[in-house]
Structure 1
């Protein structure tokens, strides 16, 4: 579980990132979750865009992404989800205590 200070740090780190995944009309599926897990292992911090043609509630989509990928939900702002998961082999970010 992330503290407020850690979430604030991760939000500042994610500010300049562009979304690398998009959730469209098909919603969240197993293949997408597998790719997100792989991307999180490499990058640790990613953004996912929820497209306007997705009819699901954005909060449910964000929760499905974070639980399915085993990641922490850092932020949901507009239709953009920020996810963080500490990498086992490619550790890049050092979180504040």
Structure 2
């Protein structure tokens, strides 16, 4: 289900103060990177990823590939930082950035 503009705005507000938890390397999108991204999304639901690619087009392709591989939705992309969201099946109140922001 696509997010409403109000949901996107709320997620951008929560994600503003987050730091990038993952960074793509020279190898780009590997299986181990995808597994780690899935683990982080399941724990935190909302994560920032730093995408290291030389050109804007390559960054866009890599971010789209990340979203496709993980099932996450791109909330915002500024430069080489992408904010990704995927709702967890059973969110952990101690780890979820969404639940912690509500407190």
Instruction: Tell me the TM-score range normalised by the shorter chain.
Output: 0.7 to 0.9
User: What SS does the aligned partner of 2:20 have?
Assistant: coil
Q: Quote the residue 2:83 is aligned against.
A: 82
Larger RCO, structures 1/2 (Cα 8 Å, 6+ apart) = 1
The structure carrying a bigger helix percent of its residues is 2
Q: 4+ residue runs of structure 1 moved beyond 3 angstroms?
A: none
How many residues get paired? 92
User: 1:62: which partner in 2?
Assistant: 63
| TM-score (structure 1 length as normaliser) | 0.86
How many angstroms apart in 1 are the aligned matches of 2:42 and 2:69?
Answer: 14
Q: Gaps spanning 5+ residues in structure 2: where?
A: none
Q: Please report the TM-score for the alignment, with normalisation by the length of structure 2.
A: 0.82
Compute the RMSD of aligned alpha carbons.
1.5
Map of 2:8 onto structure 1: 7
